[in-house]
């Protein structure tokens, strides 16, 4: 490749400051160092976590940054020591790595990896791979995919089926694996069970799909935006509840509907009040409630008797999938038509329209907006 070993100048959407529109800029992307892979991003989607970082998590010192972590692309070049990838491989970047060597990677009990990029980027000089107008620019979650090219460590990249459509499977790099896996891997939903999913963005809808594929007989979809119910039906939801239609706590409504509570509940809204409702909606004795939605601003609260009575409260990161192994398996499941992806995509745009995509997410008008850079 003519570009191998050289700095690449390309387009990226730079967030210069919190809470301001992103700016399309020309940035410089460094060549890959030892154990790194430079990837040409073909498609990237907007996830709530990008939005959260921009508008809710706002320390100024964590800017400028290139957001974006849900993506798919093609290897442009590799650094010294990389044997697993070569130019032209179709890959998915992973915000959660799998180094296969740390104590978490070696344990079947967890999908964490000690060597993952920290959620808030470290600003040590050698860690920068992007520059713009003479300034160093951070990569969100170590990925920074709102850029035509990114550079990542090979432990955070996975090779996928070359036949996979990148503008669809990009969704597997975050939201869909997260929700689907929370139901299948973390809750371990059993056939014939009753489930409730709170929050019907891409993550919640993927949780509905996970419950359905696991054989749940009843899946209750809960959202304060009733426009989401039609989509939830597509993924297998059987009942629909808008908490705003009821003048009593939503867990009481669910307990009445299910003769004592659901077997599994999944919180996919990122709200501590909803987390409590989801726990209290579970049946005593064996109910399992999984926290998927992210917030780090407030404490969660519950009466201890809820847990003493036999309910289990769990959390799920990236759907419990060990990332390098799990994502290609999910790509295969999509190619084999065992899981849906196309139905999550409500908008297709180009990177130049990123601020429109952010507006749509802010107003609950999109499930997933996929942005492309160049024809595949």
DSSP 94-129: -SS---SSSHHHH-TT----TTSPPSSPP--GGG--
Please say which residue, 73 or 175, places its beta carbon nearer to ligand NAD. 175
Q: Does the annotation count 170 as an active-site position?
A: no
Q: Does the annotation count 47 as an active-site position?
A: yes
Q: Does the annotation count 174 as an active-site position?
A: yes
Chain-centroid distance of CA 24 in Å reads 23
Q: Sheet holding 239-241: strands in order across?
A: 239-241, 218-222, 194-198, 264-267, 288-291, 312-315
Which of 113, 177, 184, 206 touches Zn ion by CB under 5 A? 113
Of ligand NAD, Zn ion, none, which one sits near residue 223, judging by CB under 5 to 8 A according to partner kind? ligand NAD
Q: Which two tokens stand for residue 194?
A: 């009753």
Torsion of the alpha carbons at 75, 80, 85 and 89, rounded to the nearest 10: 20
Which of 10, 113, 170, 174 is catalytic? The answer is 174
Q: Is the alpha carbon torsion for 169, 171, 174, 176 positive or negative? A: negative
Return phi, psi of residue 321, to 5°: -80, 130
Q: Taking the complex as a whole, how short is the minimal distance between the CB of residue 174 and ligand NAD, in angstroms?
A: 5
Of ligand NAD, Zn ion, none, which one sits near residue 201, judging by CB under 5 to 8 A according to partner kind? ligand NAD
Contact 298, 272 (CB under 8 A): yes
Q: Taking the complex as a whole, how short is the minimal distance between the CB of residue 38 and Zn ion, in angstroms?
A: 22
Q: Taking the complex as a whole, how short is the minimal distance between the CB of residue 322 and Zn ion, in angstroms?
A: 9
> CA nearest 30: which of 76, 94, 85?
76
Query: Within positions 258 to 317, which residues make up the interface with Zn ion, using CB under 5 A?
Result: none
Which of 48, 69, 251, 347 is catalytic? The answer is 69
Q: Tell whether residue 99 is a contact of Zn ion (CB under 5 A).
A: yes
Of ligand NAD, Zn ion, none, which one sits near residue 94, judging by CB under 5 to 8 A according to partner kind? none
Q: Tell whether residue 94 is a contact of Zn ion (CB under 5 A).
A: no
Of Zn ion, ligand NAD, none, which one sits near residue 105, judging by CB under 5 to 8 A according to partner kind? Zn ion
For the chain, where are the E strands, in sequence order? Answer: 8-14, 23-29, 36-45, 65-66, 70-78, 90-93, 130-132, 135-139, 149-153, 157-159, 194-198, 218-222, 239-241, 264-267, 288-291, 312-315, 345-350, 368-372
| Chain residues in the site for ligand NAD (CB under 6 A) | 47-49, 52, 174-175, 178, 198-204, 222-225, 228, 243, 268-271, 274, 292-294, 316-318, 364
Q: Taking the complex as a whole, how short is the minimal distance between the CB of residue 318 and Zn ion, in angstroms?
A: 13
Q: Single out the segment in contact with Zn ion by CB under 5 A; choices: 101-109, 161-169, 248-256, 303-311.
A: 101-109
Q: Does the annotation count 52 as an active-site position?
A: yes
Question: Annotated active-site positions, please?
Answer: 47, 49, 52, 69, 174
Using CB under 5 A, list all residues that contact Zn ion: 99, 102, 105, 113
């Amino acid at each position: 490749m003519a570009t191998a070993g050289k700095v690449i100048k390309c387009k990226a959407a730079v967030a210069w400051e919190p809470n301001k529109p992103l700016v399309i800029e020309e940035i410089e992307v460094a060549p890959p160092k030892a154990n790194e892979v430079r990837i040409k991003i073909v498609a990237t989607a907007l996830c709530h976590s990008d939005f959260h970082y921009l508008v809710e998590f706002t320390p100024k010192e964590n800017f400028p940054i290139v957001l974006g972590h849900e993506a798919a692309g093609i290897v442009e070049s590799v650094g010294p020591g990389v044997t697993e990838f070569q130019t032209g491989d179709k890959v998915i970047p992973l915000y959660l790595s799998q180094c296969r060597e740390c104590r978490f990677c070696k344990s079947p009990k967890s999908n964490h990896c000690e060597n993952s990029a920290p959620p808030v980027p470290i600003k040590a000089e050698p860690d920068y791979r992007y520059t713009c107008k003479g300034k160093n620019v951070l990569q969100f979650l170590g990925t920074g995919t709102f850029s035509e090219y990114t550079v990542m460590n090979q432990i955070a990249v996975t090779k996928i089926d070359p036949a996979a459509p990148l503008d669809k499977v990009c969704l597997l790099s975050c939201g869909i694996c997260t929700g689907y896996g929370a139901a299948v891997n973390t809750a371990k939903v059993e056939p014939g069970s009753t489930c409730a999913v709170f929050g019907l963005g891409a993550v919640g809808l993927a949780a509905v799909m996970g419950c359905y594929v696991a054989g749940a007989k009843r899946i209750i979809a809960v959202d304060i935006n009733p426009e989401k119910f039609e989509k939830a039906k597509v993924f297998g939801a059987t009942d629909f509840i808008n908490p705003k239609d009821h003048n009593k706590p939503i867990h009481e409504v669910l307990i009445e509907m299910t003769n004592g509570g659901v077997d599994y509940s999944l919180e996919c809204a990122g709200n501590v009040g909803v987390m409590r409702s989801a726990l209290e909606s579970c049946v005593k004795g064996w109910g399992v409630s999984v926290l998927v939605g992210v917030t780090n601003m407030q404490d969660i609260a519950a009466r201890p008797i809820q847990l003493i009575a036999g309910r289990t409260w769990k959390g799920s990161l990236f759907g419990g999938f060990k990332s390098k192994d799990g994502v290609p398996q999910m790509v295969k499941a999509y190619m084999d038509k065992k899981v849906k992806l196309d139905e999550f995509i409500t908008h297709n745009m180009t990177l130049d329209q990123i601020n429109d995509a952010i507006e749509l997410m802010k107003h609950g008008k999109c499930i997933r907006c996929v942005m492309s850079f160049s024809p595949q």
